Amino acid sequence: MSGNIVLNCKDKVFTEKILNDLEDFQKEAMNFFEIDKLSRTFNVQIYDSLTNFVNFVTFNGKEPKRYHDGTVATTRNGVVHILNLELYTQDERHKNNNYDDYIKTLKHEFVHICHEEILKDKNIMPPLLMEGIATRLAGQTKYANKVTEINCSADDLVFDFYKIKNNYAYAYEIMGYLMQNKSHNDLLKILSEPQKEDVDRLIKDTNKFLKSKQNTIEKQKL
């Protein structure tokens, strides 16, 4: 199973630790999507130099807007490019993160690789549900309970997902609603053709779901 992941990193001990820690998750993610084999390897390039990472992200400064404070990883042409753990936690937005958060970032990206395997149209990858299932399966609970309502439009979630505030928290909660209210087979069907989902309806259903959870919490406090 470890052949699904290739890490390019000078620190061999660190590389071995990551591979060991991702071993079980590979099986879990592939089992979730009901796939036996990946069509491509999960390649990870780990950077020991912030300068080299920034140069890569910005095409050697030709597109400076591609890099901003908080950028610690990016995926290009199927390869995940990520700072090493020391540089990752030196970033202001990730200074309170640790190795577990780092591994969850890699798990998140691996979920994307698995998800792409079941997409019926590989050219259509709506970010809302892709990020939702990735945050959920990777166990990124930092997005949990951040919002009590989805208060943006369906168009925002579909066409401007990466520009809106609380985008990953919205995706996390919407996927939580789907995972709790759909059978596994139905969920896989949704994930295989996410562009067919009625996002307006998803927002309404998720908000009812969130309100119900909040009411339950309030009753438990009494």
**pLDDT, tens only, 43-82:** 999 999 999 999 999 999 998 888 876 788 888 888 999 9
The whole-angstrom separation of Cα 196 and Cα 186 is 13
The whole-angstrom separation of Cα 119 and Cα 123 is 9
The whole-angstrom separation of Cα 201 and Cα 209 is 12
Which pTM does this prediction carry? 0.90
pLDDT tens per residue, range 81-111: 999 999 999 988 888 899 999 999 999 999 9
Per-residue pLDDT at 2: 53
In DSSP terms, which residues pair with 79 in a beta bridge? Answer: 43, 76
